[in-house]
Each structure stands twice: as C-alpha cells, then as structure tokens.
Structure 1
Amino acid sequence: MTTTALMVLGTAGGGAATAAADTVIDTIPVGDGPGGLAITAKGNRAYVANSFDDTVSVVDTVTNTEITTVMVGDFPFWVAITPSGTRAYVTNQFDDTVSVIDTGTNMVVDTVTVGDAPREVALTPNGTSAYVPNLLDDTVSVIDTGTNTVIDTITVGDEPTGVAITTFGTRAYVTNAGDDTVSVIDTATNMVVDTITVGNRPFGVAITPFGTRAYVANGFDDSVSVIDTLANTVVDTIPVGNLPFGVAITPSGKRAYVSNRDDDTVSVIDTFTNTVIDTIPVGDAPLGVAITPSGKRAYVSNRDDDSVSVIATDQCIGSVCIGLGSLAGAGSSAGSGAGAGAGSLAAGGSAGSAGS
C-alpha cells in the first residue's frame, strides 16, 4: 500500500525532486528572540513569543509568512491558544503578567497579574483554566479564562518552568528545574499529589493523549525522561542532543520532537521504542516546538537567529506531500506549545514546551 501511494504521488508531482521526511522545508523570519510558539486548532496560524522585542509574531502557516505582530508585556516567553482558537495567552516573564490576545483582531484584550517570573502556560482541554508556572516564587498560578483572574496559587518545586495537562484535564505536570523534579497537580483540588525525580534541570514536558506517558526534557544531562503517569515513576531515559529544551508529540503519539538548544538540532523519538530515529539541523538555539493539527509540519523557534524552522514530518515530492504516518506507521496529527492533544490509543501525544 505504501509503494502504491508513493507512485501515485510521484506522478502528481511531475517528477520533481523528493524531499525526505523530517527535513526543514522553510525558514520564517520573526521577531527578536523567539521562544514559545503555538498553533491554532485549525492549523492556519502560529503565534510566536519574541522575548527580546516584547512582541508576538502571527504567522500564516499556509504561506509561512509573518502577517502581523502584537505588542505584549515585558519579555514574553511562552504562548498557548484556547481550544476554540479565539484567545492566545502569553506569559511576560519580566513584568509578572499574562497578555490575553483576541486572535480575531490580534489585539491584547486583557492583562492578568500572576506570580514572579512566569514561564510557560498550558490550558485545560475545555479551555476554562490556564496554568502558569512562576519561576522565582515556586508557584503555579491558575487563571479562570472566563474572568481572566487568578483563582488559585499552588506551591510546587524549585524554579518551575514547564507545564502540560492531560487530555482529560485531571492532572497538570510541572517541571521544576531547580530541584530536578516534576510536580503532579490534581486539577480538581489544585493540590500537588505526587513529586517525581527526573533528570538534571528539567524544562519542557509533553503528555500523551490518553495520559499514560509524560516526556520530560532534561536540559543539563541531555536526556528525556519518560514517566509512567499511572505509577508516576520514570520508566525510561532517552539520550538526545545538547541541552534539550522543548518537547512536542504528534497527536498519533508515535513521534516526539525535542529541540536541542546548544547544538541547533531537533531529535525525533520513536515513542514505541523510546529511541532517537532522526536528528534534524534547524536554526540557532531552538527553543519551542509545535506541530500542526494535520501532523504534517513541525514549527521550531530559533532564538538566536530570529527565525522559525518548518519541518516536513512526511515525505514531499515536488509540491505534493505524502503522510508516511498514516501509510507506513509514522505519526500524523499534532500537538502544540503546551497542554493536551488528541491521538491514537497506542501512545498518543500532546505538545509540551520548555523553560530555560
């Protein structure tokens, strides 16, 4: 079946050159110091937080061009988009706020004061709450997105940075870079119910759609810890590149994409074998990773060259791309920045993100 599909698409491509899967097919100039990024549920827009010029770039993912910029707070670090796609939440690390962007007008419609040095942000699957780790006061702020007010503050570990929420919204996993742990929060009570020791200085985290695994990027020991979320224990450790930072998992759950900040690459992990099956060169100092809902593209922000690399996760023949995930066993659909994704029962995947 795979061979037939390749032949058909080869004819459609008119004999044009074939690009292998997991290759960079485009580079998009954005603002100064891009960090976190997220893609709308429709897949037609990406929002990129530019830390060094206090803006968010809005990217048209059809043309892969920046179509506008939005002024936000001081040192925007991360971004998450509501499931409805109507709002983007942007953490501003240096003024302890979260900017709320109306994605219809691309204007800031609210500003929420949170804890000291907010890092990442993740939204619950129903979009009613946003969880924001605050690096310098060891807390997580919980925002009611209906009123855009902080309704709870949760004490976690030392220097919380990354956050991801299970697909069913019952647990939030928060990486604590200062004490090499992950705090597990019961979102019904907003209490920490478990603490898991992982690798050295954990940053990004992503959770599989059915909640059975969490993938944690350990920046200072160049590894990814795999957590069994039923037992809340580490069941595997995967060597990756130099200073892994962000994590995103395809909605099928078959692949995890990990940005390696200090060697300018992205590691591709097969989540069935928990091994690295590919390494992709990208831009300078990659941080955030987001995957389109179709699963055919991964977007990677490169902090030190002010760009976003676009990776084709499938195989392209001329202008026609074939999703190897649906035909030959690789992942299809997508996750983004932080929070939950949808996917297959086998492994599943939502996107995680990362702190520094």
Structure 2
Amino acid sequence: MKTTSSVVTALAVFALAAAQSVLAGQAPGLLADPDIPVSHHDRVYAAEQFSNTVSVTDPADNHLVGVIRLGDPAPASFSPLYRGQVLVHGMGFSPDHHTLAVVSIGSNSVTFIDTQTNAIRHVTYVGRSPHEAFFTPDGKEVWVTVRGENYVDVLDGKTFEEKMRITVPAGPGMQIFSPDGKYGYVCSSFNPEIEVISVADHQIVGKVMQASPFCPDLAATPDGKQVWFTLKDIGKTQVFDAHPPFALLTTIDTGPITNHVNIVHNANGMFAYVTVGGLNQVKVFRTDDFSQVATIPVGNLPHGIWPSGDGSRVYVGLENADMMTAIDTLTNKVIANVAIGQAPQAVAYVPNAVPDGDGTQNIQALGLAGQTIHLALMPAGTGKPGGAANAPTTVTLFDQGLVQVLQAAVTGLQPKQSYVLGFSDKFDGTGNVEPLANFTTNPAGAAIVNALGQIRQVVAPGDATDRDRRRYLVIAPLVSGKPGAVVQIQAL
C-alpha cells in the first residue's frame, strides 16, 4: 500500500508540475502560452551601440556564438559615403520567433534579421532617431517609436514597408502590446505622458501621466493586468492598470539610471525585474503587492533585460561591462557571464530562434568589439584613491581602433547641476583640469556622459619614462564656466 501510495503521489506531483509548465507563459506572450524550456535552439540577442553589432548567445551553455555586424566602429561611420548602421540600440522579435527587428538610432533604420541564418532580410529607413521596434502579437505590423519626432511608424509585418504613422506627443520612447493584442502602450522620453492606442484602428484611447518626462522602457504582464514602466531621469518605476481607465497603481523608488523592466512568471509567482544602472543592480518586485523581494548585484551599468521562454532565467546586458549576465529566477543569483560586444542596450531572448542546425551562418568573431578598458571614479577628499568597489561612477573605454569611445555612468552628484569630466595631472585631482566633456545631472544626481577621441593613451598606465605625462580622470562642478574643486577622482 505504501508503494502504491508513493507512486500515486509521485504521479500527482508530476501532473501538477506539467500543468504548471504548460500554463506559465512569459512576456511578451499570454499567461496561457506554454513555457519553452531552455535549449540550444534558443538565442539571446543584444544590440551593441558602439561596436554596431548584434551579439548572439546560446543560453543552453551560455556561450557566445558570435556577432552579426551591422556597421563599422568610429571613425569609419563619419564618411559621407558610409552605408552601414550607426548606434545599434533597440530590439524586438516576431511572434513566430523567426525575425529580429533591430533599431539603429544614428542611421534611422530598422534592420530585419532571419534568426535561423542570421542574414539581413530587409532594412527600413524611418524618421529621426528611432528607439525601439516591436511586432504586434498577430505579427501583421511592426510599430517603431520615432523618438526624434512625434509619431509611431507602423510597418507592414511581411513587407516591412511603411503603412501609416500614428501621431503622438514628441519623443515616443518605447512601445509594447497587451498580450491579447488589443492595446499598444507607448511611453515618452520627452513628455510625461503614455499613450494607449487601439491596435485595430490606431486611435489613441487613453493616457497615463508619467512622473517625469523620460521613460525608456515598459513591459506588460502576461496575465494582461498591468503595465510597468521605468523613468530613467528620476530613478523610479511606475505601474498602471492595463485596462480602461488605465489608472496608475503605484510608484516605486528604484534608483539612479533606472533602465529597463521585464516580467517573469515562475513557480514562486509573477515578478518584475528592473535594471538599475547607477547601482549596478537588478531589483525584483512582486506584481501582486509590489513588494521588493530581491536585490541582485551585477556588473557595470545593467541595461536591457529579457526572460527565458520558461521563466527560469533572465538575461541582462551590462552596458559598461560588455557582458551578458544570466540570472536564475528561483534563487535570484547570477549563474553566468558571457563576454559580448560594446555597450549592449536592448536585449531579447528568443525561444526556438534556430529550429535546425547550429545557427552559425553569417556570424563573425567578437574581434575589436571585445576590446575595452574599465575604470572607476571615487569621491575626492579621502586621501589616495582606493579600489573600485562600490564606486559611484564607472567608466568604460570602448576601443574603435584609431580612437576610443568613453562612456561614464555617473552617480552621487548634486541634482540638476553642471559638471565637467576631465583630466587632472595629479592623481588626487589637485592639479589643472583639462575638460573632456561637460554635462548636467538629472534629478537623481546621475548622468550618462560620452566622449570620443584618442583617450586610451592618456588614461592607461604608461611605462616608467611616461609616468610624468599621465593624466587622471576627474569630475568637477562648473563654476562660472570653469572647473571648480574636484568631487570625484579616478580609482587606482
């Protein structure tokens, strides 16, 4: 009897587990969609802004398959005869998982890539500075937020040609759809307002006020009940009801440079994962009571995030670490880091992207895209600068061959103040400061600062004969147009 009872119990547990796996669909699909276990047929993609590549990772063993090169690094792209893509940034994919849509901000384009062969199927050029592109759940249209203008460009899902434009407030930043395909939610990067649009007739049917003007990303829960969106300038995340009248449900302080959000459903419930670039963390919140359940330390400047097809993992692009990080969602621990291209932005996990074969066609090695130098800045006035642990500002130099792109993820400064990132000839910042880039902090006292030039030869350690020529990165407030007393210095 005991043996029979044990068998019956085991069968019941197995049946329950099977039922749960069938009814635990992940974003951006429906909750009723079956889970798709992680396998070698899946791919994780990242849009890499400074190497102008799309990295392709196999999540089954977390190895980089290679990169799809859409453009050349600077300064080749400065030529008037240049034909490649510039500032590869946004990413979406088709409902059948066969087509990737990749947005390049600098060349105003959407590149459509076959996931099986990694071949470019088509390039559509749209308006100024598009940001993200995504297919409607039925696959019939692709909506592209044209952030440098005031409309969503609606493309045909098969021909990829423009069908129409939906006029919205200036600066549409990101769009995502309700899992049932009824609504498109379009947040703004320039105006504090989200537009809710009827997919059937392209009419605006609702509005949601943002707590600030700068929303870079949003996600809808697979149960169709909520929409989560991030506010990068003030470090907050907000949630509203996905149905009319689209009421705001909560506002959460998440931290400086709050980047992207996505939704995971697993055996423990449904959760929102938020990347917080200024803290180098991913924060995890329940969707039922909005309580925070985990803080996950990751590498420098986490940006894009997407769940696996079964919700067992989320993958995070580390913008200033050139890494793809895999997180186990049941333990909320990092389980892998994969070296990828320069400055990953949007991330997309596409289950069953490669139904047959190894999917290595039209793939290149990482090459120059993997060459970077990492630095950190610490608060000044504490004596000789120490290590980079818990540094408020991280800096990456992305090698472009002849020149380097510098990107600093700055935090720990006064809100809405003008500063200069520059070089000092003294390690403690007491020497003369040579300006490299001026910037103004956002309301959270943070900023993303970029510069381009032959910088590596200045900040990298030289040999003994060159030590007197070395310069050190510093940040100082601008006082009457000139650098004031240094507030952050390079960690040594």
Per the normalisation by structure 2, the TM-score is: 0.55
Q: Superposed, which structure 2 residues align to 1:1-356 within 5 Å?
A: 43=38, 44-72=42-70, 73-200=85-212, 201-230=214-243, 231-251=245-265, 254-315=270-331, 337=348
What amino acid does structure 2 have at the position aligned with 1:51?
Answer: Q
Q: 2:313 and 2:221 mapped to 1: Cα distance?
A: 18
Number of equivalenced pairs: 286
User: Which structure 1 residue ranges, 5 or more long, are not aligned?
Assistant: 1-7, 9-37, 320-335, 340-355
Which has the higher mean CA deviation after the structures are superposed, 298-307 or 76-85? 76-85
- 8 A contact 2:315–2:349 mirrored in 1: no
State the Cα distance separating 1:338 from its structure 2 match.
Answer: 10
- Local SS of the residue matching 2:320: helix
Specify the code of the residue in structure 1 equivalent to 2:317. S
What is the DSSP-based 3-state SS (H/G/I as helix, E as strand, rest coil) of the residue aligned with 1:203? coil
Secondary structure of the residue aligned to 1:279 is: strand
Q: Which amino acid aligns with 2:323?
A: S
Q: Does the residue aligned with 1:178 lie in a helix, a strand or coil?
A: coil
- What code does the residue aligned with 2:46 have? V
How far apart are the structure 2 equivalents of 1:79 and 1:173?
16
Distance 1:218 1:316, change over 3 A: closer
Rate the CA distance shift 1:42–1:75 in 2: closer, same or farther, 3 A: farther
Contact 1:287 1:300 in 2 (8 A): yes
What SS does structure 2 have at the residue aligned with 1:189? Answer: coil
Shifted more, 277-286 versus 252-261: the winner is 252-261
Output the TM-score relative to the length of structure 1: 0.75
CA contact (8 A) 1:264 1:281 kept: yes
Q: 1:220-246 CA deviation, whole Å, 9 max, x = no partner?
A: 222211111222121211221222110
| Residues 137-183 of structure 1: per-residue CA shift (max 9 Å, x gap) | 12111111211111111111231112110111111111112111111
Partner SS, residue 246 of structure 1: strand
SS of residue in 2 equivalent to 1:104:
coil
- Secondary structure of 1:262's partner? helix
Q: Which runs of 5+ in 2 are unaligned?
A: 1-9, 11-27, 29-34, 71-84, 336-346, 351-447, 449-492
SS at match of 2:278: coil
Cα distance in 1 for partners of 2:43, 2:308 equals: 9
Determine the C-alpha separation between the residues in 2 that align with 1:42 and 1:49: 24
Q: Which has the higher contact order (CA 8 A, sep 6+)?
A: 1
**Structure 2 CA distance, aligned partners of 1:316 and 1:158?**
38
8 Å CA contact 1:89–1:121 kept in 2: the answer is: yes
Question: Runs in 1 of length 4+ with deviation above 4 angstroms?
Answer: 40-43, 336-339
Q: Give, in angstroms, the shift of residue 337 of structure 1.
A: 4.6
Contact 2:142 2:160 in 1 (8 A): no
Map Cα deviations across residues 266-313 of structure 1 (whole Å, 9 max, x no partner). Answer: 110111111221111111111100000111111000111111111111
Report the secondary structure of 2:148's partner residue: coil
Q: Which has the larger radius of gyration?
A: 2
Across the aligned residues of Structure 1 and Structure 2, the Cα RMSD in angstroms comes to 2.5
Q: Measured at CA, do residues 68 and 337 of structure 1 come closer, stay the same or move farther in structure 2, by a change above 3 Å?
A: closer
1:120 aligns to what SS in structure 2? strand
Q: Relative to 1, partners in 2 of residues 1:190 and 1:337: Cα closer, same or farther, differing over 3 Å?
A: farther
